[in-house]
Structure formats: C-alpha cells, structure tokens
Amino acid sequence: MNWLHQYIKIFKIISKNYRWFTASFVGISAIFLLCSALNSALPVILRNAANSIHESNSMQTQFLFFAASYSAIWTLSQVLSNIRGILSAWILAKCDTTIYETIINKIFQYPYKKQKKLDPGFVVADINRSASSFSMITIGVFWTITPIVVEIIIAISVLYTIMGSAYAFLFLLSSLVLICISIYVARSSSSIHRELFEADAKLSSYTVERLGRTYDITLNSTQLKECHSGKNFFNNYVKTIRKANLHMGIRIAAQGLAIGIVLAFFVILSGVDYRLTFTSGDFIMITGYITMFTMQLHLMAGTLINLQGNLVSLDDGVKYIEEKTNISHFPRTSPTGQGFVLRDLSLTKENNVIFSRINYQFKQGVNIISGSSGAGKTTLINTLLGLEDNYTGAVHYRGHLINETMSEFILSEVSVAPQQPILIAGTFKDNLLYGAKNVSSQKLRWVIELLGFSEDDSETERLLDTVIGAANSELSGGEKQRIAIGRAILRDKHTLILDEPTSSLDEITAHKIIDWLAANIPCLIIVTHDAGLKKKYGVAIELSEHYPQST
C-alpha cells in the first residue's frame, strides 16, 4: 500500500496550498456517486415503461409517466456529468500546478553536488508525468472505479429481486473474477509503463542535450553526423514504444474477450429463464444492466491499467519530494569575526588531487587566486561557498566550519559573479536586479555607467526596458559578464567573489571595474590568471594543475 501513503502525502501538500481542495474533492465525489445512482435507476424505469404497455389499466398514463421519468433522470445525469467535469478540471489544474511547484522548489533545496548530478531531460520528464499523476489517480480511484462499484452493487441488488439469489450470486462471482483479472493485468503492466516512461525520459534528455549545444554543432559542421545519430536514436525509440504497446494491447484484448464471454452468457441465461412471471420489461432491464455492467467493467479494466502507470509516475515525483535535504545553518557571528580562513585544505575528486594543503586567511582588500586552467580555482571558490564539502583540513567562515548547511548563510553575506553567468528571461533591469533588494534608481544608473553600458539618462532608460530573453542570443560574452558583475555589486555585500572577471572584457574596461571594486568592496576575492592584476595586487593563492600548492 505504498501508493496510498504517497497519495495521502500529496493530498496533504495540495490541501495545505489549496484551502478549498478537501471540500471540493468531497463535493465532486458526491456528484459522481449521484450520477452513478441515477444511471443505475434507468434500466428499472425502462422496465416499468415496457411493462406498462401491456397493462390495461391506465396504460397510457403509466407509460408516459415512466417515459418522462426516464428522460428527466437521463437529462439530470448528463447535466451533472457536465458540471462535475467543469468542477473537476477546475480543481485538478490547481493540483497539477501545486505538485509541479513543490517538486521544483524541493530541487532548489538540494545540495549543489546533487543538483549537478540531475539530468535536466529526465527531471523534466519525471515532473511532467508526476504532476498529472495525482489527478489521474484521483479520477481513476474515486471518480471512476468507486462509482462503477456502486453501479455494480445496485445492479446485483436489482437482479437479486428479479432473477433470484442464484443468478445474482453468479453475476457477483463473475464480476469479482473479472475484476481480479483486471487487477492482475494492471499490476503486470507496471514494467511496461516503466519502459515507456524511461523511453520518454531518454527522448527528453536527448532533446535538451542537443538543443543545449546547437552552437557547437554549427561551429563544427556536425549537422549530418547529428542527424545520423539522431535517426538511430529515434528508430530505437520507436521500437521500444511499439514493443510496449504490443504487450499492452494483448493484455487489453484478452480482457475484452473475457468480458464479452460474460456478457453473452448472462444475456442468454436471462433469456431462457423458465419462470412465468418473467416479462419483456424484465428482460430489457436485465439486458440493460448486463450491458451497462459490461461497459463499465471494460472501462474499469482500462482505468486500472492507466492507474498502474500513474502510480509509477507518482512514485517518480514523490522521490524528489522525499529526498532528504540539510537544514540551513545561520550561526551567530561576531562583528569582528574573521572572513574565510583555510587550514591545510586539500580536496580530491575521483582519485585526482585538485589542490593540497592550502593555508591562507583572506584579508581585507584584494585577494588574488591564480593558476592554470584545470588547476581547481573554481572548485576552491565552491568550497568557500559551502558547495563542496568533501575536503580534508579545515575551512572556516567567520569562525564557523564550512559545510553544505552553511552555504545559504555564506551566500547571504557574499556576492558572486560567476565566469559563465546565466541570464533570465526578462528585461535588462530584471537581470541586473536579480538577487538584489531595495536598490535605488540612482544606484542602478550609477552601476550601469560603471559597467560601461551607457552614459546618457535617456539611453539608460531604454536599456533598462530592453527585453533580453532567456536565450541571450544577442548578448556578447563580455556583456553577460558585466551584467553578472553588476548583480554582485547591487547585492551590496561585504565580500565579493569574481571568477575570471576579465576573460571576456577588454583590458581598459576590466581594470576600470576592478580598480573601483578594490577601492569600495571591503573584501574582494578574484580568480584570475590576468598578469596585470597579479602584478598590481599580488597573488594570495597560486594553484598548479600538477603540483597543487599555496603561496
């Protein structure tokens, strides 16, 4: 019953975020059951209408009454069905969105190392499926299977009254057998659903990965190669889908055959009933119930198979929500506490030494971290930020040992301009203020001027309102880097870390920005191999790809 635990967990999450969900769920479920009761009454009314034709007393009046009742109940059932469809779609849209939002927000809380290991394609596929799985399970269990069970119970009760206990018992036994077959087929389809979902996840991963390197494909003229490898991938995808659908189709066909045999058996059995009191109306009613039962049982069989797939999808979503995350630690600190302090810091990844035995206390002013490409400069920065905690030795920030639980606290006091910033969909202003709070328009204009974007007020206004877009296709590497530096400045923190800030900037612009930061930021940490900056400010830590060491 693990699925029930997961369903209840999601139910509570949705109820917490959607105040009227529980009441809406109960109300809509009641409408579904009412519709089932009304549909179950139709064969009885049809029987009475048919029997009234052969009665001499008030024949026309009775027939008209039952005919009108049949039409009224059928119409009411249809109206309620439309209402329940509108209401269910209304609340289930909120359910899907809540699950989607919950999973995304949970992933934001993952440790950085775990986030890096996630395949975006697989994550997107899992979230898309699991976001709708709760709705599909709700529809399947409470708004399809439960009403069908109610209809079967009513049908058996009526058949017991008209046909006797033996017929009703046989009908009940056949129903249970067919339901058991449906459950078995549904459970056995779990592996088929898993194959289909994994194939879709691989397709999503393939698409995301290829779209992420369109520039490299163009530069290397590998379009034909990509098309060839893509053709093989898609052919394998089609084979997987066809094979899974074939196995699923065989199971559904076998179910349909079993249901059809039961339908024929009970129709024939009702037709050869020997009792003299058995009327044509009784036969119509019984046939109506058997036909309704058969259709509903076939619907239940398909619902159970889909339900199994949705249970697999729900499990894929819940695993993200149930992932354990560390509670962020915000320690008390002294105003005079030291910043970053390294004591015999070493870090090894996959048996490769990244850096070894670094000892350094970052001072007020400019601190240069230098080294060749691949020497571990960015890894060292991530260690300072609490994004890498598999080190040996000790790293402290303001007197507290750094680990993953300290990351949020450190980043609340430290601004970072990464080497390869990611811009958001929005305006130029949105991107500059991303992560900043309470920035005055005067300071914003001043930072734009410092970064060399504009000098005229009217030009600045146009620039701020310019829509950049998530792809940033029209921005140069230098423009992106200056925006990242602007973000870091506008966050207004005591310590600012720049990762290769001059790599995409011209020398004059780069040194102008660095000189201002050196004069105005209390603690500036710069990762660079820029010879001019190293000569001007000295080197605090020198990393070598082959001989990691500190100076």
What region does 469 belong to: left with phi over 0, alpha with psi -120 to 50, or beta?
A: left
- pLDDT level of residue 31 (50, 70, 90 thresholds): very high
Q: What is the pTM of this model?
A: 0.79
CA distance 506 to 402: 35
More confident of the two residues 542 and 275: 542
What's the pLDDT at 527?
A: 92
Is the CB of residue 244 less than 8 Å from the CB of residue 137?
no
pLDDT at 275 > cutoff 60: no
What's the pLDDT at 55?
A: 59
Residue-wise pLDDT tens digits, 41-68: 888 888 877 777 765 555 567 777 888 8
pLDDT at 274 > cutoff 50: no
CA distance 27 to 326: 39
In this structure, what token pair is assigned to residue 466? Answer: 């310019």
What's the pLDDT at 540?
A: 92
Residues 404-420: what's their mean pLDDT?
A: 90
Exposed / middle / buried, residue 248 (Cβ in 10 Å: 0-12, 13-18, 19+): middle
Element (H, E) at 284: helix 280-321
pLDDT at 180 > cutoff 70: yes
Q: Which CATH superfamily is domain 2-321 in?
A: ABC transporter type 1, transmembrane domain (1.20.1560.10)
What's the pLDDT at 326?
A: 77
Q: What is the DSSP letter of 405?
A: G
pLDDT at 551 > cutoff 50: no
CA distance 293 to 296: 5
Phi, psi of 136 (to 5 degrees): -65, -35
- pLDDT level of residue 547 (50, 70, 90 thresholds): very low
CA distance 446 to 441: 9
What's the pLDDT at 516?
A: 93
In this structure, what token pair is assigned to residue 531? Answer: 């010879």
Domain positions in the chain: 2-321, 340-543
Q: Which CATH architecture has domain 340-543?
A: 3-Layer(aba) Sandwich (3.40)
